[in-house]
Every structure is written in structure tokens, then in C-alpha cells.
Structure 1
């Protein structure tokens, strides 16, 4: 029969050997991934977009980290305090810095903004969308 001391010793050795086998010898450290929220540079406050026009949305990528958690972007329209379900662009690389969108048919207003999603959602300044030039 095992004595208590032998049982403790056996259990300790078993636990240590299990831990040694569970950890690979060549563990590579993963590169840290960073959240990237590039500021939108266009549209700017006071811009007027006309329904049906093609407009460029731009953002600053100069401070992009080398490893981004989500490099796939999308742009959604915001009206007032509410993000709409109007998707203006999707499935683009957030590092391209600009993309052309078509101004959607919406109610005229001066409280529209864009939300640029990738890692994080960031808003443009408010601008106007109108149905006539």
C-alpha cells in the first residue's frame, strides 16, 4: 500500500509531467493585434451630397499598426443619433484610405454622417444629403 507521503510525491510528479507534455517545446508567441480606428477625412462638415452622385469617402491610414484585428471595412450611413441599415460599401481593405460610394436616396437632411467600420466604428462629421443640386 501507498503511504500518504508516497501518494503526495506520486501526484506531484504526475502533475508536473502532465504540464510538461501539455506545453509544446517550441511555443511561438503570437504577434499582438491592434485595434485601428482611422479618422474619416471626407466628407467634412458642410459638405452637400446629392442623391445618385458618386462621392469619395476618405480616411487617414498614416498611423495604421502593422497587425490589425479586422482589416475588412464597411461604411454605413448614420442619420442624427441613429445608425441606419443603409450599407454604402463593404468588403474592402481598411488600409486603402478611400472608396467611392453612391449617395443613397434618402430624405433631405443636414444631419447625416458616415460610420467607418473595421476594427472600430468611427463617425464622420455631419454633412447634408439633398435630392436636388
Structure 2
């Protein structure tokens, strides 16, 4: 029984070593620069706004062109409630949506996902008591 266990451990370690030494396929990383919002931006809850990005430096191949925009607060992305999703981050340079009713804060950030995540500068979202 112990020789079977030893052989199994040897096999697992050997496979792990082989997998770790295998070359990784080169992947493009498309990380477009977010041009809006910027640090001077103030969004109001209920307002129709746009996130814009510069897609002038596209790699030859983008492995995932399906985009998603989420809010980030205190280092956490709100993946459960995307502001926009399902758009082509390569063929477009902006996406628009309505700002949700959330607490007023001056340190929200936008994360643009596609082939890679990209982070905007911190900006402000303001909601009055009735909307937020």
C-alpha cells in the first residue's frame, strides 16, 4: 500500500513539474486607456453618462473583445452589478448607461473589462437623498 502511495505522489509531482515547465502561449493584453470619466468628472444618479476609451493601440489579435464596465469602490469591483456589458470593446470607443442610485462619494473608479481590466482615475458620483 505504501509503495502505491509513493508512486502516486511521484506521479503527481512529476506532472506538476512538467506542467510548470511547459511554455505558455503568448497572449495579447489589450488594456485601453480610459479617457472618461477622469478626476474632474461628477456624475449624478439617474444621469445618462458615457465611459470612453482610446482603442488606437490595438494588438494584432484580441482574445476577448466582449466588454464590461463596473464600478470600483474601496478596491472592490462590483461585478454583480455591471453598469454595462456585452459590448465590443475593440469596435467601439465608448458605452453609455444610466448612473444607478448609490451613496454620494468622491472616490469611485470605473473598471473596463475586455481582454484585460483597466482602471479610471477616481471621480465623484452625487445622489440627492431622494435618488440615493
Q: TM tier, shorter chain?
A: 0.7 to 0.9
Report what 1:65 is aligned to: 59
The answer for unaligned runs of 5 or more in structure 2 is 1-25
1:33 offset after TM fit, Å? 5.0
Indicate the SS of the match to 1:86: coil
Cα deviation, 1:85-123, whole Å, max 9, x if unaligned, reads: 320010110120101121111100001011000111110
Q: Describe the SS at the equivalent of 1:87.
A: coil
2:119 counterpart of 1:126: no
CA distance, structure 2, for counterparts of residue 45 and residue 101 of structure 1: 19
Any stretches of 5+ residues in structure 1 without a counterpart? 1-31
Taking structure 2 as the reference length, the TM-score comes to 0.72
Whole-Å separation in 2 of the counterparts to 1:97 and 1:59: 5
CA deviation profile, 1:24-83 (whole Å, cap 9, x unmatched):
xxxxxxxx7522110110000021000000011100100011210101100011112211
Choose 1 or 2 for highest CA Rg.
1
Q: How does 1:27-106 map to 2 (within 5 A)?
A: 34-84=28-78, 85-95=80-90, 96-106=92-102
Runs of 4+ in 1 over 2 A off after TM superposition: none
How does the TM-score come out when normalised to structure 1? 0.72
Matched, 1:107 2:116: no
Q: How many residues align?
A: 101
- Residue aligning to 2:22: none
